Structure 1
Amino acid sequence: MVQVTYPAVSITIRTADDIDRALSRAARAVGRGARLVEWRLDELAEIPGSTNAAVELVARSPAPSIATCRSRAEGGEYDGDDSTREALYERLVLADKPPRYIDIDLAYWKRSETLRKTITAALAHCGDDPKASLMLSTHDFERRPADLLQRVEAMSNEPACSVIKIAWQARSLRDNLEALDLVADRTKPAVVLCMGEFGLMSRVLAAKSGALLTYASVGAGAETAPGQPTIDDLLGRYRFEKIGPATAVYGVIGWPVAHSLGPVIHNAGFEKIGYDGVYLPMPIPPQFEHFKATVGSLVDHGTLTFRGASVTAPHKENLVRFVAESGGRVGDLARRLGAANTLVIDNAGRIECTNTDAPAILASLCGAMGIAPPQLRDVPIAVLGAGGVARAVIGAVADAGANVVVFNRTRPRADVLAGELRECRDAAGRPFRVSAGDLDSIADGTFRIFVNCTSVGMAGGPAPHASPLPEAVTLDESVIVFDTVYAPARTRLLDQAEAAGARSIGGLDMFLRQAALQFRAWTGRDVPMEAFRESITGRIDADPDPT
């Protein structure tokens, strides 16, 4: 029998005056698809005489509920005595309309004999078909606990415990794989979650391993644990209720990735064609060893069904190295440029990387200019940046015969990139014309096209409101400025160009084109581009940090 995994919303109650508003928020969440409500009673329980209010809250819950009261030592806010908490839990279990589960911390359960006797007796009083059940839980808000497996065993062996729950602060994406494995190996219904920015995968993929439930917040800013998605994102963006054991997993790998619209458009594409897949943000720190260890673990995991990823800065060069060292296939363009943005894993576990940036860049640039690629021959182009995007841009325009100069904040990186790409040849066998220049002298050139390949101006980046182009550069109607940043749609650079009368090209069209090529590589099907565009309508300009 397949375990149904329920989406639950977690709501904090601070005073009895919060109850009506909290119930309204819970009802809205249930209307959107939440199946359980967790009531966090930490602060309410500190108020003398609040037990009746808690019982009333649970009785009026718009869906089956989980009631919990955590002390500060357990990661909560309760600062009262144990006897008050014990009385609260007992009263809830014995109520006419009790919660479906009471969630009690494992350490509290183990140290308090009174608690164990009280709750065990209350549960027994309910008979063979109790209305309430005990969930034992353990949390670590700093790291994976060293005694994690011992804690799991203790909860599994506790006769009164019906559900075990484990949560810890993830230090990398690899923590999620252990979380999924712990659920798969369960001896009782289980909830195993990773917290923090690395932990979203465990929450969204809970159904792949048969977890009892996963938690979400009722809205942005209402999270009760680090890394909780909103119920709207969980059920809408990530299509949680369509995820099962066979669901193929994809993602966007980068550092940072919070700004990425990849999860929005690719999940919308999966929905449009009825494809059993889900696409997640996958943050991996910049170093190659992090990339190698994490991506290798994702590829090798037995039940994850990891089938591909978009790879963005700073990992486009790392992807080529990883695939080559792993014995996979590196696409011809990716090999020549030394950068790839698309990882594909087939059903046999074979890996391949390709570069969809370059063809998308060329199509976007030439389309906006109303020219064919051969008309770029001999056009002087300044490229700002020396990372994976810059490689793709240079590869695209130099392959068409353009004369490219690379500028970077650190000149040596520009020299290295230019030197490497001069070794490449275009379709006619001619070497790429690529050189490097000092950023301070960029205004001295006579460039017709400027292309920004840095993260300057990017939402969520280091300088979201800045322009990478020095003010000394002369822009007029004869110049074209192409910003590969797509979030936000209007960057400082584009405003700077238009104010000077230059023609500007944003990065969104390029982004959608390369994403469509990735989508086909993964699914074998073309996505209707309108599905991509509709999914982000209004999102970039409305949200300064779209996710």
Structure 2
Amino acid sequence: QVPIIGLVMNDRGFISRVLCPKFGGYLTFGSLEKGKESAPSQPTAADLINVYNIRQIGPDTKVFGIIGNPVGHSKSPILHNEAFRSVGLNAVYVPFLVDDLAKFLSTYSSPDFAGFSCTIPHKEAAVRCCDEVDPIARDIGAVNTIIRKPDGKLVGYNTDYVGAISAIEDGIRATQQTHSTVSPLAGRLFVVIGAGGAGKALAYGAKEKGARVVIANRTFARAQELGNLIGGPALTLTELENYHPEEGMILANTTAIGMHPNVNETPLSKQALKSYAVVFDAVYTPKETRLLREAAECGATVVSGLEMFIRQAMGQFEHFTGMPELQIA
């Protein structure tokens, strides 16, 4: 038996540095501090110990992770690994940079790979890749949580819609006078920017709460497709600039516009934001996007994507572990 150190470089190889103790690697290593890496995508020693709990990883450790492209910006490993640690679960959560979801799921088919979060651009493809899909996720047309059952079957769920809608409702209730027994979204014009997986979840959730939903997207055909599904009008982003049929509208950006490193981008001009009373941005890196900053300057109630992120992750934790949702600060 010769001790072997096996490591893979770059973003796709990051998981090899974290999971090597599970698969018999002799050791792994990280940089002493961020910015002092000796190879691309090398973690810091502090992150290996404090975020990934590497000293506790062994052959029986269950593996969870986030599937996306890009995925390096995600804070999910920090949140989920801390949640696993808090309940004493022998599990680790890592980022998977994935181009082809179907190939990934067939390759990582071991029962040890027990569950995944799905982010851009795989939420819609996940519906087709799962053996079973929760009825709500199927109605939405997007999956953000995949569980591998003991028999190997993949089951898809969606926790985005509850996470986002509850965050927006609570943001409104905290700053505006509302009727206690009725959703503050009921009857209001709710504009969703984006027609991908997150856009579908927000549109579904808003409609369920009684909002009048409008879909805006860079590609009109995609906006029209989702608009037809939820029974609302569709616009291009160019048309949205001059769309203000009434005051007090709600805006929800579900695209990646404004995400780090493109922090100076915004899906809608500051002038157009003046018609909105509430603005939500699903982007949470940075926490205050340009869209939210300019909306606040226009007097709107703003809701950070961090609120949605935490709430949808709480739902994922329950699916991953079978335990009640943790209250994550």
Query: Same fold judged by TM-score > 0.5?
Result: yes
The alpha-carbon deviation at position 489 of structure 1 amounts to: 1.2
Q: Contact conserved, 1:273 with 1:527, CA < 8 A, in 2?
A: no
Q: Alignment partner for residue 516 of structure 1, among 307, 311, 314? A: 314
The alpha-carbon deviation at position 449 of structure 1 amounts to: 0.3
Match of 1:481 in 2: 279
Q: Alignment partner for residue 494 of structure 1, among 278, 292, 315? A: 292
Q: After the TM superposition, which residues 104-123 of structure 1 pair with which residues of structure 2 at under 5 Å, given as runs?
A: none
Change (3 A) 1:373 1:215: farther
Q: Alignment partner for residue 322 of structure 1, among 129, 132, 138? A: 129
Matching residue's letter, 1:398: K
Query: Any idea what the Cα deviations from partners look like across 1:35-55, whole Å, max 9, x if unmatched?
Result: xxxxxxxxxxxxxxxxxxxxx
Name which of structure 1's ranges 348-357 and 439-448 shifts more when overlaid on structure 2. 439-448
Q: After the TM superposition, which residues 322-341 of structure 1 pair with which residues of structure 2 at under 5 Å, given as runs?
A: 322-323=129-130, 328-341=131-144
The number of aligned residues is 320
Q: Contact conserved, 1:374 with 1:400, CA < 8 A, in 2?
A: yes
Query: Any idea what the Cα deviations from partners look like across 1:406-460, whole Å, max 9, x if unmatched?
Result: 11112121112222x23xxxxxxxxxx3221132222333361011111111124
Q: Contact conserved, 1:398 with 1:434, CA < 8 A, in 2?
A: no
The alpha-carbon deviation at position 363 of structure 1 amounts to: 1.2
Change (3 A) 1:444 1:512: same
The alpha-carbon deviation at position 524 of structure 1 amounts to: 1.3
**Greater share of helix:** 1
CA distance in 2, matches of 1:301, 1:524: 20
- Unpaired segments of 5 or more residues in structure 1? 1-186, 423-432, 534-547
Query: Any idea what the Cα deviations from partners look like across 1:320-362, whole Å, max 9, x if unmatched?
Result: 1111xxxx11011111111010011123322100000011122
1:451 and 2:252 correspond: yes
Cα RMSD, aligned residues only: 1.7
Matching residue's letter, 1:526: P
CA distance in 2, matches of 1:264, 1:238: 8
SS at match of 1:190: coil
The alpha-carbon deviation at position 487 of structure 1 amounts to: 1.7
Matching residue's letter, 1:489: K
Change (3 A) 1:373 1:297: farther
Query: Any idea what the Cα deviations from partners look like across 1:525-547, whole Å, max 9, x if unmatched?
Result: 13532xx33xxxxxxxxxxxxxx
Query: Any idea what the Cα deviations from partners look like across 1:360-399, whole Å, max 9, x if unmatched?
Result: 1221111111255644232111111111110000010012
Query: Any idea what the Cα deviations from partners look like across 1:141-186, whole Å, max 9, x if unmatched?
Result: xxxxxxxxxxxxxxxxxxxxxxxxxxxxxxxxxxxxxxxxxxxxxx
Give identity over the alignment, percent. 36
Match of 1:52 in 2: none
Q: Alignment partner for residue 23 of structure 2, among 209, 216, 238? A: 209
CA distance in 2, matches of 1:528, 1:199: 31
The alpha-carbon deviation at position 246 of structure 1 amounts to: 0.8
SS at match of 1:310: strand
CA distance in 2, matches of 1:387, 1:409: 11
Query: Any idea what the Cα deviations from partners look like across 1:194-226, whole Å, max 9, x if unmatched?
Result: 111101111111111221111211122222222
CA distance in 1, matches of 2:149, 2:106: 14
Match of 2:155 in 1: 352
Change (3 A) 1:527 1:276: farther
Matching residue's letter, 2:267: P
State the 4+ residue runs in structure 1 displaced beyond 6 angstroms.
none
Q: Contact conserved, 1:320 with 1:353, CA < 8 A, in 2?
A: yes
CA distance in 1, matches of 2:3, 2:293: 55
CA distance in 2, matches of 1:464, 1:332: 36
Larger Rg computed on CA atoms: 1
The alpha-carbon deviation at position 521 of structure 1 amounts to: 0.6
Q: Alignment partner for residue 313 of structure 1, among 120, 137, 143? A: 120
Match of 1:295 in 2: 105
Q: State the TM-score, normalizing by the size of structure 2.
A: 0.92
CA distance in 1, matches of 2:172, 2:273: 20
Matching residue's letter, 1:395: Y
Q: Alignment partner for residue 470 of structure 1, among 269, 279, 291? A: 269
Q: Contact conserved, 1:191 with 1:211, CA < 8 A, in 2?
A: yes
The alpha-carbon deviation at position 312 of structure 1 amounts to: 0.6
1:361 and 2:164 correspond: yes
Q: Contact conserved, 1:451 with 1:482, CA < 8 A, in 2?
A: yes
